Every structure is written in C-alpha cells, then in structure tokens.
Amino acid sequence: MVYLVGGYKLTEDQVLQWCRPRNIDPPKYQVAGTIDRWLSSQKIPIRLLPCDYEQKCIFLVVTDRRVDPKGTINDFEPFQESERARNIKDRLEIDDVEFVTVPNPYGVRRLFSMPYCYS
C-alpha cells in the first residue's frame, strides 16, 4: 500500500517567480507555509507540498491524492492530468510545468535524503 499525491512540479525558482507579481515574499525555509496561507486567504483549496521527486527537491501543487492499496513506492498507477487539474493550473496562472505523481511524499526515506526540502 502506498500514499500518492499528484500535481504540478515546480522548482524553488519557479515558485519564487510566481510569488513576485502577487507580492508574496516568503521567508527562506517557509516558502510552502507562506504560500499555503496565501492560497487559503484567496479561497483556493489546494496546497503546495515540498517533497523530493527523482531525488530532487520540488514543490508540488497538489491536485490529486489517494491510497493505492496494491501499489508500492516503486510500482503504482500514476495519476493522469485531469480537467480539474488543468483548471487549477489555469487559476494559478502557471505554465510550462510537468504533471507528476509522487509516491509516499512524507516517507522517512525522503526526510533524510532531502532535508532541505523540509526546513
């Protein structure tokens, strides 16, 4: 069994660039929390999740989540980009981003392999 999240993969630079025209200035190591509070204040019911993907620190605009009862961290059915996900991408005005599925985003292995993602 594995917990999966899906959504749009952004680098830290892409996130900070997205913040500028919205006058969001997140403190270092508090990027996701600051943006999550802004999203909530704008009544946008999604979150930005810092996690690793293919051994790189990313920020995931989470559009989908589920438990795959038969999946494992290395073998699971990935999400497909849906119309709902595309609507979220349009609402946030983000382009040139890849839609990905991240298995076990809160796993201990990830915490130790990419600690700067969680600072």
Domain ranges for the chain: 2-117
Percent of the chain with pLDDT over 70: 90
pTM of the model as a whole? 0.87
| Token pair belonging to 51 | 């996690």
Mean pLDDT for the chain? 90
* pLDDT (tens digit per residue) in 37-67: 999 999 998 999 999 898 888 999 999 999 9
Please give the helix or strand (H or E) that residue 39 lies within, else none. Answer: helix 31-41
Q: Cα separation of 18 and 91, whole Å? A: 12
* pLDDT for the residue numbered 12: 93
